[in-house]
Amino acid sequence: MSSSPRVVVLAGGVGGAKFTLGVRAALARRGAPEATVVVNTGDDLWLSGVRLQPDVDSIVYALAGQNDTQRGWGRAGDTERVNHELQAWGAGWPWFTLGDLDLGTHLARTGWLRDGLTPTQVIGRMSRRWPLGVHLLPMTDTEADTIVVLCDGRRMHFQEWWTRHRAALQPAAFENPGIGDAAPAPGVAEAIAGADVVLLGPSNPVVSLGPILAVPGMRAALASTSAPVVGVAPIIGGRVVRGMADVCLAAIGVETSASAVAAHYGARADGGLLDAWLLAEEDGALAPEVAGRGIRPIVTPLWMTDAAASADIVDAALDAVGV
């Protein structure tokens, strides 16, 4: 048992942020080094001339204590003056709010990207203003925004499907154009290779962890690391805790159950990703099924009600694999 494990986390936005708060707290308790958090950039988009990185910002704002906990997204105490002006011009998307403080982030990011910084370097700069207590990396420096292909053949950006249509239009597939030529961001493969444990956070398996795992080289890095790979179920009692991950899962033919999601990631021994899988107590009856798939089940409370509860989840994962 190592009291200073090197931890790598794969994460999406709001669920990923809640989990990452727990990772930071659990590692601080152990006096362990900062975790490396690899975040989904499939949600990213260009809007009104600025680059948005919703999942990056959800994690940055949460770790910096700047997030709006009431609303669940964006900056605490934000206003919408610029947004109203953009709408008056007919610019942007009328159904997509850009807060004033949030726009400050997007402008800073876009300026740095225009200056030639990579997304990795931009996140590095953001982490200088607000020490995050983790080493945050994008999954890739290449733009590969998620596109939803609808059953009627139409294609739209993930954010339009998710935010405007609330995932109500039947999806046939999720694609990340350009991802075939992408590579993991600098430091990602090295962190996975040097890790003592890799944690797949309870993020949306399809549109948050899906794009991360689709980056060429990512699965190979996970397959070849000597670190155990432990996943956390985003499903509790057969339901998604928040959001519309069930619609995404159905589109790729995966049932909304903690066991089916484990099977979707697959057992490492069978060429999949997982050594172990955290199941909620409500889903304890699924443990034998998960074990039968060659994945070690660990039954523990999975409600991320606050950072302490998330830290307990992380402790359960680390204890289970002896790091």
Amino acid (one-letter) located at 36:
T
Name which of ligand GDP, Ca ion, none residue 58 binds, using a CB cut-off of 5 to 8 Å depending on partner kind.
ligand GDP
109 membership: H or E segment, kind and range: helix 100-114
Among 10, 62, 240, 320, contact with ligand GDP (rule: CB under 6 A): 240
Cα(46)–Cα(139) distance, integer angstroms:
18
In the DSSP assignment, the letter for residue 161 is I
First to last CA, the chain: 5
- Least separation, in Å, of the C-beta of 236 and ligand GDP? 6
Residue 7, binding choice from ligand GDP, Ca ion, none, Cβ under 5 to 8 Å by partner class: none
Closest CB to ligand GDP among 41 and 58?
A: 58
- Report the amino acid identity of residue 43: D
Q: By rule CB under 5 A, what string of x and - marks binding of each residue 16-55 to Ca ion?
A: ---------------------------x-----------x
Dist. CA 204–CA 11, nearest whole Å:
9
- Shortest reach from residue 243's CB to ligand GDP, in Å: 5
Residue 234 found at the interface with ligand GDP (CB under 6 A): yes
8 Å CB contact between 8 and 34:
no
Using rule CB under 6 A, residue 12 touches ligand GDP: yes
| 206 closest CA partner among 254, 267, 149 | 254
- Evaluate whether 298 touches 276 at the Cβ level (below 8 Å): yes
* Binding-site member from 36, 176, 204, 257 for ligand GDP (CB under 6 A): 204
Q: Is 250 in the site for ligand GDP (CB under 6 A)?
A: no
Give the footprint of Ca ion on this chain (CB under 5 A).
12-13, 43, 55
Give the footprint of ligand GDP on this chain (CB under 6 A).
11-16, 18, 55, 58, 202-204, 208, 232-234, 236, 240-243, 245, 302-304
